[in-house]
């Protein structure tokens, strides 16, 4: 997974391994990442449910930050990047 900071650009590589190739939305592992604000979980669970109409949802994982006021910890970002091919984020108010 290529992680891009929209306010800066692509960071320098640090030897990390990326899952290569385009995302296959019908089968690849996907992270649903919440910012922990009200209704974020419900929104993402609804997305997951709708994706169930065209794919197996067993490898779609819901993940979240502990606090909406804090950035995601590095371990969470590493988990998402290391085990998922794509991530859908609930970030806006």
Tell me the pLDDT tens digit for each residue of 62-87. Answer: 999 999 888 899 999 999 999 999 99
Which strands form 86-90's sheet, in the order they lie side by side? Answer: 60-64, 30-34, 86-90
Instruction: Quote the distance between the C-alpha of residue 6 and its chain's center.
Output: 15
Q: Parse the chain into domains and list their residue ranges.
A: 25-90
Q: Please state, in angstroms and rounded to a whole number, the distance separating the CA atoms of residues 93 and 89.
A: 12
Tell me the pLDDT tens digit for each residue of 16-25. Answer: 555 567 899 9
Q: Please state, in angstroms and rounded to a whole number, the distance separating the CA atoms of residues 78 and 59.
A: 17
Global pTM reads 0.75
The larger pLDDT score, comparing residue 57 to residue 70, is at 57
């Amino acid at each position: 997974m290529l992680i891009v900071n929209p306010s800066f650009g692509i960071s320098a590589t640090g030897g990390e391994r990326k899952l290569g190739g385009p995302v296959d939305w019908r089968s690849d592992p996907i992270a649903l990442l919440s910012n922990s604000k009200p209704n974020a979980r419900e929104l993402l669970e609804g997305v997951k449910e709708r994706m169930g109409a065209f794919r197996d949802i067993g490898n779609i994982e819901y993940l979240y930050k502990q606090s909406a006021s804090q950035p995601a910890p590095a371990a969470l970002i590493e988990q998402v990047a290391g085990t998922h091919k794509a991530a859908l984020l609930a970030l806006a108010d």
